[in-house]
Amino acid sequence: MARSTARKRALNTLYEADEKGQDIASLLQERIAHPGAQTPLPQYAIDLVQGVADHYSTINQTIDEHSTRWPLSRMAVVDRNILRIAVWEMLYNPEVPSKVAIDEAISLAKSLSESDSPAFIHGLLSAVERDIALQAQEEQEAAERAQSAQRIADLVESESEEEQTDAPERSAGLDQDGTPDQSNDGDERSTQQDSQPQQPLAAPESSLDEMSFEPLSAFEQLDKPVGGDESSE
């Protein structure tokens, strides 16, 4: 059976419970057991009525918050139950797009309610649709921020673990690949050299006093007469 027909059967049950002031769930069980002259309630009609009963307070509050003309209690009985069906589909049935739920509600209002009801129902449900879309967007943005924060936290944790892993190797004088770290060897050798006591310079093996010089032959020649012995003169 088409869902449009199921919505009409659900509306009949909700309308009857509203007029009688009877509990919706109990009347639903009666109609399931004894459908009367009509055919048995289709499954989607049962889902609609049971869904409205399960979320009755939230659905009524949503309608009241978005009504700009009058409160739920002053609305026509048929109108408020058309709204209840549509709001349940919009809030709790992801298989039905909001626009489809609105169109179906307007169609019911045109055939079963006053002439001004379709416009009123359309305006109210459109406001509900906008709020649902806004809430979905806010939830998506919040989820994206949470994912971004989690990625940052994971990155920080990963870097911290890497630092903790590298710390023992650095303290043991090893590079990240396990080889000895030679970056400080020059400084260590320089420090060791500086710490050793300096030895005094060794004295030369011979001093100037102990050195002997032979007379230069040129000076000896100056003492001799030029051209021969003195006796020759």
% of residues, the chain, pLDDT over 90: 54
Residue 53 CA to chain centroid, in angstroms?
37
Under 8 Å between Cβ of 68 and 123:
yes
Residue 36 CA to chain centroid, in angstroms?
55
CA-based nearest residue to 82, from 114, 43, 115, 121 = 121
pLDDT, position 229 = 46
Under 8 Å between Cβ of 132 and 66:
no
Q: How confident is the model at residue 91 (pLDDT cuts 50, 70, 90)?
A: very high
* Rounded CA separation 35/32 (Å): 6
State the helix-helix crossing angle for 117-171 and 98-112, rounded to 10 degrees: 160
Q: What is the pLDDT of residues 43-53, one digit of tens each?
A: 999 999 999 99
Residue 34 CA to chain centroid, in angstroms?
53
The stretches of the chain forming alpha helices (DSSP H) are 3-20, 24-33, 43-54, 56-66, 77-92, 98-112, 117-171, 185-195, 217-223
pLDDT, position 186 = 54
> Residue 221 has which token pair?
């020649």
Task: Write down the residue that tokens 């080889």 correspond to.
Answer: 179
Q: What is the pLDDT of residues 153-208, one digit of tens each?
A: 888 888 887 778 766 666 655 555 555 555 555 555 555 555 555 555 555 454 44
Intra-chain end-to-end CA distance of the chain, in Å:
168
Distances from the Cα of 228 to the Cα of 221, 225, 231, angstroms: 12, 6, 8
Q: Is the pLDDT of residue 54 over 60?
A: yes
Query: What CATH superfamily classification does 3-137 receive?
Result: NusB-like (1.10.940.10)
3-class DSSP state for residue 180?
A: strand
Task: Write down the residue that tokens 């500086």 correspond to.
Answer: 194
Q: How confident is the model at residue 61 (pLDDT cuts 50, 70, 90)?
A: very high
pLDDT, position 6 = 96
Tell me the domain boundaries of the chain.
3-137
Q: Which residues contact 77 (CB under 8 A, 6 or more apart)?
A: 15, 18, 19
